Amino acid sequence: MKILVTGANGQLGNCLRNCSERGSKDNYIFTDVAELDITNAEAVKRMVKDNDIELIINCAAYTNVDKAEDDAEFAETLNSDAVRNLAEAIKDNDGTLIHISTDYVFGKEPYNVPCREDQKGTPTGVYGMTKLHGEQAIAASGVKSLIFRTAWLYSEYGKNFVKTMLSLTSTKPTLKVVFDQTGTPTYAQDLADTIFDIIENRRYKDNEGIYHYSNEGVCSWYDFTKMIAEIAGNDTCDIQPCHSDEFPSKVTRPSYSVLDKTKIKETFGIKVPYWTDSLKTCIKNIKANEA
């Protein structure tokens, strides 16, 4: 079985590379824009056909939430049009598309209970809207697919909130972080492990649909930062909570986007790690890599 991974140089893509080391590594073709431009429908079709791809894992996305407000056309191209290209190409090969989506498809409504998979999408900005359009493109194509919505992704790779706050809390005497946006951090390696196990056991077959995955638990960005600093031993920074309107932005971020994970746990029998446990693992690895 040949598996195409797009966006392979991002956080989740790199974590999937780790997973492939313990499985059928030769089955995976890891690509980023240099190897495959997924906005080019013909290039995608050739890649899928020439390599007899049975499964695509799409980790590619336009993820700069603020910049998307000024770059809506390209965000739509990458988050929706390119997804349609992947869906149509793998459908022609009678294969399956695994696509990564986001909690940002929610947010406009004042939710106070975890969001379920069948809940109506109400995005608050261009990023969330284009990701929702990507999901809709998959549905319209009729391809066999699994969509994993996730949230607050971090890892040892690239730029992310954890790495930024590790730096800031170790160098700044004071720091303000918003406390009125609530969700759940997700360690990208945990999500990659889940996807990898589903693939290796071929449990993606006959289990098509939308699934939510984040780590267990709930926190604000302020709580998240406090825990990052505590685990790292950065105890000299005075971290204070603040309202989100103290940091003006072109987009309104979801104030509550906790994901209900009942469906994925029941369908695949998985146990989801608690967010602080995974955070400790990630920070330990980051520090080990710096040594």
Catalytic residues, by residue number, are: 127
Residue type at 47? Answer: M
Dihedral (Cα; 260, 266, 270, 272), 10-degree rounding: 20
> What distance in Å separates the CA atoms of residue 156 and residue 53, rounded to the nearest whole number?
29
Burial of residue 82, with CB atoms counted within 10 A of its CB: 0-12 exposed, 13-18 middle, 19 or more buried: buried
Q: How far is CA 138 from CA 39, 80, 83, 108, in A?
A: 15, 9, 7, 23
For residue 116, give both structure tokens.
């379920």
> What distance in Å separates the CA atoms of residue 4 and residue 195, rounded to the nearest whole number?
13
Q: Kindly state the greatest CA–CA separation across the chain.
A: 57
